[in-house]
Structure formats: C-alpha cells, structure tokens
Amino acid sequence: AGKATSTAITNIGSLVTNDPSLFAIGSGGSRDPLGLIPGAAAVVIDGDRIAWVGASSKAPATDNRVDAGGRALLPGFVDSHSHLLFAGERGAEFAARMSGRPYTAGGIRTTVAATRAATDAELAATLTRFLAEALRQGTTTQETKSGYGLTVHDEARALQIAARHTDEVTYLGAHVVAPEFADDPAGYVDLVTGPMLDACAPHARWVDVFCERGAFDGDQARAVLTAGMSRGLIPRVHANQLGPGPGVQLAVELGAASADHCTHLADADVDALASAADTTVATLLPGAEFSTRARYPDARRLLDAGATVALSTDCNPGSSFTTSMPFCVAVAVRDMGMTPDEAVLAATHGGARALRRSDIGRITPGARADLLLLDAPSHVHLAYRPGVPLAAAVWKDGVLRT
C-alpha cells in the first residue's frame, strides 16, 4: 500500500461540475446550476477523491494523464431508486400490456414467488449483473431495495446481499401485502413493523413503502415509515404512481428524503414538494411510465414550482426493466418538459440529494472521484443521441472501471 496514485484528465471539451461556485473557471461566468466549464478543463483525481478542477493548461503534475480529446465529462449517475433483488422476469406481462392490458401492483406477487425460490447465490448473481450493466452506462451509485421476499427471512437475506454491494440499501417489506396475509393486511403491517423490521433494520439505511391503491393506504404507510424511523432508518416513499393519493403529503410531513414517482399530483402536492425542496426530493421514474404506457410525470410543473427533482430508473422486472440512466434522461427531456441541463442535473446531483449525499453528484475538490466521460462533445448528447451507448470511460472511487 503505497501512496495513492493521481490522475489528470485533461483537455475536457465540456465539464459538468454541478458546483456553481466553480463558475469563475468557466468563460461564461454565469452561475448556472450545472457549473459548466465549457472548454479545455482538467480534473485531477487523487486516490478515491477529486483533488483539483481547473484550466487544462494549469493542471498540476500527476502520476497518470488521460487526454479527454475534447469530449464531455460529468459526475457519474446517481440512481437513487431501483429494485434489483429479484429472480425471474415478466416479459410476457409486458407484451400483454402492450396489447392493452393495464399495469397493476398485482404482478409483484409473480416476482415474489420466483424470488423466494431462488438461492442466495442466484440473487447475488442477478444483482451484480445489473450493477455491472448500470456501471457500463455511467451509474456510479446505485440504491436498491428489498420487496420481493415479503417474509422475515427473504427480506433480510435480500438486504444482506444488497449491503455487500452498495451502501444505499432500502427496506421495502411494505411493497405489497404478502400472499399469506391476503385476508389480514393489518397482520402483515404488524409483521413489517415488528419482527421483519427487527431482522432488516441492521442491513438497511432507508425504509420505503408502496403507498398506493392495491398496496398500502396512508395510515398503513405512516405506520411502516414511523416504525422504520424509530429504528434509525430514513424514510422514502413510493407515492402517487398509479393514481392520486396521500403518499406525497405523507412523505413531506415525515421529512422523507424523497417522494418517488410523483405521476399523479394535485396542486397541493406540488406546493408541498416545493416548500420541502431542501428536504424531500421529487424522484421521477420515466422508465415506469414508458413500460406501463402511462402518462409521464410533469417535471416542468415541479421545477417551475421550485421542487428539487431527481431522475432514476426504478429498475425492476415489472414496471421498468431498465438500468439505463441515459435512457431516463432522454425520455425526461423529450416527454417531461425538462431541458437537457435540468435532466442531467437531476440524474446526478438530484439523485445525490435524494440519497442525502454531499460526497457524490458533483465534480469538485473533496468529492468522490465518480466520473463519466462521454463519447460526445457535451452532456446534451445524452438526450440528443437517444439509445446510443455514449459512455467512453467510467471511474468509481477514482478507479477506471470501464
């Protein structure tokens, strides 16, 4: 174990820092939220951290040098919402939906049966395969949830497996009522807030609940979240995905880190998210509307009101089977009223906010060296060139991974 190696990435054509205070380095001098440095920038990595950001001509001496060749560099994507602990797939259900069948929360039980039948090794292999797939597309931080076990044993083992691969682990025992409790939902909430929480809390940072018709109502969701909070877990909520409901208000009231989906919002929900902009992020998951052929959430309305917006994949085998943050960025720009700058900010800094992390989602001295180099001259190409694999290189914790 010698001294950490340092690397300078020079000749960056367009650098998204998400640090407006770095504006002085840029030629424009405007305090844009993206903290864009439009030409000839350099970033120095020392060990697992960013050590320096500045003009390429002034880059300090380092052990290694990477010439970006005028291409764009941005923070790695922060995917703050996914469900990667599962077995099986539901392609037939997707195909049926595309011929007109509606999406319901009921499909979750199909995946629960497959997940319970899988071995630990199978679940771990699936998780690592999707983490690698996401990393290749530029995702350097991946939150993921339980929720396809729905027994004390199956929820706890999912979280234990997840915790070996990511720091951002979420307990979602309250995904749907377990099939064994179909006639006793109150009994299932007692399990989720009692013995299941005891087994799961040590392995998770977050507690989540699917607050929706067909899953858990407002009172049940409140019971799940407050029980988790009493054990030190921080709340986040699946809210207002399939229809209007109490999820967003509950998230704001409890100071949740994020309200996720936010597809069906009343004016009062938008107002609540705007006034909680420093606490509760509105996390939009366009893959879900894409794959359920539903109307997209209105990001423009949230942004104009002053809410903090994140974009994430929601990767799961039912409603959104994609690990691709570039896909989410492209859809958000095309169909949700976001500018390319806003969508890239939401997919990086927004995700970091939703995970209450200040060490990721920005390229600034002291931040983790989680970086995405694009095969493109600017971040705009993520939306402008949809479906094209633009990730040329990805660093996570200062290590070149792909």
Residues found near ligand NIG in the complex (CB under 6 A): 83, 107-108, 111, 210, 238, 241, 288, 314, 316-320
Name which of 107 and 337 has its Cβ closer to ligand NIG: 107
- Using CB under 5 A as the binding rule, whether residue 212 contacts Fe ion is answered as no
Compute the distance between CA of residue 267 and CA of residue 256 in angstroms, rounded to an integer. 19
333-339: long-range contacts (C-beta < 8 A, 24 or more apart)?
Answer: 333/383, 334/383, 334/386, 335/286, 335/296, 336/284, 336/286, 336/296, 336/297, 336/298, 336/299, 336/300, 337/298, 337/299, 337/300, 337/301, 337/303, 338/299, 338/300, 338/303, 338/309
| Pair of tokens at residue 283 | 């996390």
Whether 222 has a binding-site annotation, put simply, is no
Name which of 111 and 258 has its Cβ closer to ligand NIG: 111
Compute the distance between CA of residue 204 and CA of residue 145 in angstroms, rounded to an integer. 9
Residue 11's binding partner out of ligand NIG, Fe ion, none, with CB under 5 to 8 Å set by partner kind: none
Partners of residue 45 on adjacent β-strands:
7, 50
| Closest residue by beta carbon to Fe ion | 314
Whether 81 has a binding-site annotation, put simply, is yes
Whether 83 has a binding-site annotation, put simply, is yes
Phi-psi sector, 78: left (phi>0), alpha (psi -120 to 50), beta: beta
List strand residue ranges (DSSP E) for 240-280, in order.
258-261
| Pair of tokens at residue 360 | 């990721």
Name which of 160 and 319 has its Cβ closer to ligand NIG: 319
Whether 64 has a binding-site annotation, put simply, is no
Residue 319's binding partner out of ligand NIG, Fe ion, none, with CB under 5 to 8 Å set by partner kind: ligand NIG
Whether 271 has a binding-site annotation, put simply, is no
Whether 319 has a binding-site annotation, put simply, is yes
Least distance to ligand NIG from the beta carbon of 104, Å? 9
In the set 155, 168, 314, 342, which binds Fe ion (CB under 5 A)?
314
Annotated binding residues: 81, 83, 90, 148, 175, 238, 241, 314, 316, 318-319
Annotated binding residues for 4-imidazolone-5-propanoate: 90, 148, 175, 241, 319
Which residues of the chain form contacts with Fe ion (CB under 5 A)? 314
